[in-house]
Each structure stands twice: as C-alpha cells, then as structure tokens.
Amino acid sequence: MLTNESIHFRGIERFSKYSGYAQSFKFEGNYEDLTDIDEENFVKKELVAIDALPFSFIGNRFMQFEKQYIDRELFKAYCGFFDSSGNNKPIATGNWGW
C-alpha cells in the first residue's frame, strides 16, 4: 500500500470459532454470525486494513520513533478510520503481531 492508502472491506462475516493465537491458534467449530443486515443486504460489519513498516527487519528498530515514520503511521490510521459521513463507529484493533 502507498503511504496514503488503506483498504476498506464492507459486509464481512465470521464463519468459525477459534481459540489461541499465532502458533496456538486452533479451529473450534462453525460460527453462526447473527449480525444485522443493512438496506443493501450487507452484513453490518466493516474491516479496515492499514500496513505498518517492519522496523525489526529493516535495520534499526528505533527508527520507528523518528518524526517521518510516526507521521506515516498516523496518516495511515487517519486514512483508514476517517468516515466522511460523520458517523462515529467503534474501533477494535485485534491482535498485533506475535
């Protein structure tokens, strides 16, 4: 993704139950997602994907605290979470790395 890009998915649905994380991740069975459907027949869930730079792999991990990189991450978050309709929606960040 470019610095000013994010990916927005609309109508996402969960299909499985699980436990664990990373190497301990385990399928626990089917999941019936009972989330409401909107007027366009989409499940009322959204997902935003934004990327981050892998500082532990590109040299000095302390580079991430430099202004240019902090600004990049803030701009990515802004692009991903901005809602031009003015509706405030809850955000859950999920699991970050391992």
- Residue 88 predicted with pLDDT over 90: no
Number of domains in the chain: 1
Asked if the structure places residue 37 within a domain, the reply is: yes
Asked if the structure places residue 97 within a domain, the reply is: no
DSSP H helical ranges for 5-96: 67-81
Asked if the structure places residue 58 within a domain, the reply is: yes
Per residue in 10-60, pLDDT (tens digit) is 999 999 999 998 889 999 999 999 999 999 999 999 888 888 888 877 777
Q: Are 71 and 3 in contact (CB under 8 A)?
A: no
Q: Are 41 and 31 in contact (CB under 8 A)?
A: no
Q: What average pLDDT score do residues 59-63 get? A: 80
Asked if the structure places residue 86 within a domain, the reply is: no
Asked if the structure places residue 89 within a domain, the reply is: no
Provide the domain limits for residue 37.
7-81
Q: What average pLDDT score do residues 61-88 get? A: 86
Asked if the structure places residue 41 within a domain, the reply is: yes
Asked if the structure places residue 92 within a domain, the reply is: no
